[in-house]
Amino acid sequence: MTSRRILVIALAVAVLFSLGWVWRSAAEEAPGYRRVPEGSTALVGDIAVRLLSLRLTTSVTGRFDDHLAPVAGAVLVLARVDYDATAHTGELYCQLRLVAGDASWDAEFAYSPPEPDASSCEAGSRGTVTVLFEVPESFVGRLEGVAVAVGADGGSTLLEGRPT
């Protein structure tokens, strides 16, 4: 075989491999959430979760009478999630993220909800977690719900819901 033929074959293999990779990545849902219809309860690991509400607001008052307001061009979204972790033993890492298509936001760490709501899930208990998100106003119409991840397995369940 001549070096020209080897070069053409190698180039063809590289192009086919690249096209296959692009096709495969486009076929995957990004990000890979397991979707749960609004109002339904989902089991994430051994924890049952249900989105109670997503509420748009211009300010909130936390547990310690602290008042929070969004920056210009943003809104606050208050999410309430009912959880039951009574079957869970050991450490519990429960992450809530607000989702709008490929965009998502972590909860604001500065917010502690008024009692009896909690700011995170606790192993061996049940209750309501209330978290606050600050998002650009332009994303409000695209909000899909709250993603819940338990542990470090990387999988998330999207509790679908629209803000009111």
Per-residue pLDDT tens for 97-112?
999 999 999 998 888 8
Q: Given this model, what pLDDT does residue 110 score?
A: 82
Phi, psi of 21 (to 5 degrees): -65, -45
Whether the Cβ atoms of residue 142 and residue 151 lie closer than 8 Å to each other: no
pLDDT in tens, 44-94: 888 999 999 999 998 898 888 888 899 999 999 999 999 999 988 888 878
CA distance 150 to 90: 12
What percent of the chain has pLDDT above 90?
A: 49
Q: Residue 16's pLDDT is what?
A: 45
First and final C-alpha spacing in the chain: 69
**Integer Cα distance of 163 and 142 in angstroms:** 10
CATH architecture of 32-160: Sandwich (2.60)
The CA distance from 60 to 77, in Å, is 10
Residue closest to 56 by CA, chosen among 147, 139, 159, 149: 139
Residue 7 has pLDDT above 60, yes or no: no
Across all residues in the chain, what is the average pLDDT?
A: 83
pTM here?
A: 0.76
Q: Which residue has the tokens 């989902």?
A: 42
Q: Predicted confidence band at 23 (pLDDT cuts at 50, 70, 90)?
A: very low
